[in-house]
Structures are given as structure tokens and as C-alpha cells.
Amino acid sequence: MSSIGFYLTLPLLYLLSILPFPVLYLISDAFCFLFYNVIGYRKKVVYQNLKNSFPHKTEKEHKDLQKKFYSFLCDLFLETFKTLTISQSEMLKRCKVNENAQALFKQLHAEKKSCILVMGHYGNWEWAGHSFSLTNPQQLYVIYHPLSNKHFDRLIYKMRARFGTKLYAMKDTVREMIKNKNEISATGFIADQTPSPLNAYWTNFLNQETPIFWGTEKIAYKLNFPVIYIRIARLKRGYYEIQAEYLIKEPRLTQEGEISEIHTRKLESDIIAKPEFWLWSHRRWKHKRINIPN
């Protein structure tokens, strides 16, 4: 998109962001009809992903899940841009860190321990970052891919940093974490992205051979930061709860692949329980395993 296109779009995004939630969700319903029934945005990708992940389900069940996913995807899109203007109090009303999670992070902070947060593209991960920063004592860092469009990159960066979150560009993550290792922090890794098949941990995930980024495990091992799994549960439309649990307290005591396997199984369990809240439009299985001869 050109600079002119961006500046023409920007007022529309701000207009969407100031709309009351009931109006926003009416627009989301219209978007869902458009994307699902008219445009068919990645419809084949979504259906194939669901079919491969849940081969025991019927065609009707796959179609029902597909429709539920598109409804959630449109909500997620508009909720994300709502963060341009949402207040702190509304943010915490809409996305709460539950009491057990708050206690866990307060204890870690009291022990002066930094941690690694691992999660998936499940629930509203954008809102979760804001609520974490507003609720917990750690400095939150999230890892992101800079966008090729510099205007949208600045906008997304501004949105994600509104309530105190700081960002690491993916290529700088290790260097920046080492530089800031004496700060009590929490660094969020979204671990269900697609790495190169030649440099990945391979496992079975949702009934398919799947490559997993080594980064989360290797950085946890190098810095010996505890690994915490974050679950972003959707309670009802427009309301979420952030839950947290220890996965690994001493990463240096683990075997190779152990951390990657544990957090993958946690995410898989959440997806199986409520499939419609995961990002099925992502081409998660575009790579196939390459067997390299000895």
C-alpha cells in the first residue's frame, strides 16, 4: 500500500476503533458474511487444515468449525484495531489476567526471576499483551516481524506499545535478551509460526508432521529462564481471560526437544478443546519434512 493509501485508510481505522462494541460486532458480522460467502478468503486453506487436523470429524462438523472460525477471525481483526483508542479500564475489563496467573508473576518478580512466555495464535493474543503489561510487575517484551510497509509497521508498533509493552524484532531477540538479562522481564514467544524445515524441531501436531521453531527452547536453555505457558481463553464474545502455568522451572535440566514438545502439547490440547479460536487461515503446514541422508 502506498503512503496515500495508508493515510486514506488511517481515519477509517480510527473511526472503527471508537465505535461502541455492539456496533463493532455488527460490522464484524457483516465482514464475516463478506469474507466467508463472497470473497472466500483462504477458505480452501482453512478447510483443508481443519480436515487434516480432525480426520475423525464429519464434513458438516468441518464446515461448522470453519464458519465459527471466520466469525472469530473478523472479531479478532476489529478487536485488534480497537486498541488504537481503548482505555486502560476497558482493556482490563475485556481481557483479565486471572488471580492464579497474577500470583505466579508476583512470585517470580519477588524472586527476581525473568521468564519466557510461550503461547500460540489462540484467542486474542494482541489484547493479552496489553493486559499483561497493565497488570503484572515484569517488563513485557514481545517478539514481532517488522512489516514491509513502514507506515503500517509504525502503526502496529504504536498499538502494541500503548500500555508499556516493548518489542524485539525477531532477528534481534537473542542479542537484546542477553543485553537486558539483568532486568526482571517476561518475553513472549508465539511458538506456532512456521520455521524453515531444515532448522526446526519436528513433531506430530494436530495429526500432522509439523516443524517447530527451536528459538523458544534454545533461548530458555541459554538464559535458564523459567518457561510459562499462556492460555488466552475466550469467555464470551469480546471477553478473554489470561491463564498461566509453569512448564519448566529449570530449562538447563531438560533434554533436547523436551521444552518444544511440552509447549506444543499444551497448545494442541487447547486447540482440540475449542478449535475455532486458533488461526486456521495460517499456512502452518506449507513445509514438508526433508530427510537428509547420513
Q: What are 237-294's pLDDT values in tens digits?
A: 999 999 999 999 999 999 999 999 999 999 999 999 999 999 999 999 999 887 654 4
Contact 270/122 with Cβ under 8 angstroms? yes
Report pLDDT for 24: 97
User: In which residue are the cell numbers 517484551 written?
Assistant: 141
CA distance 117 to 220: 10
- Which secondary-structure segment (H or E) carries 294? none
Mean pLDDT over residues 48-73, rounded? 98
Report pLDDT for 292: 54
User: In which residue are the cell numbers 510459562 written?
Assistant: 228
Mean pLDDT over residues 22-32, rounded? 98
Mean pLDDT over residues 200-215, rounded? 96
Contact 127/161 with Cβ under 8 angstroms? no
Tens-place pLDDT, residues 109-168: 999 999 999 999 999 999 999 999 999 999 999 999 888 889 999 999 999 999 999 999
CA distance 8 to 143: 29
**Confidence class for position 1, pLDDT limits 50, 70, 90:** low
Closest by alpha carbon to 224, among 199, 205, 198, 252? Answer: 252
CA distance 283 to 72: 18
Percent pLDDT > 70 in the chain is: 98
Give the chain's mean pLDDT: 95
Report pLDDT for 263: 98
For residues 291 and 225, the model is more confident at: 225
Residue 76 above 50 pLDDT?
yes
Residue 36 above 80 pLDDT?
yes
Cell numbers for 205? 501436531
pTM of the model: 0.94
Report pLDDT for 294: 44
CA distance 106 to 110: 6
The residues pairing with 233 across neighbouring beta strands, listed in sequence order, are 241
Percent pLDDT > 90 in the chain is: 90
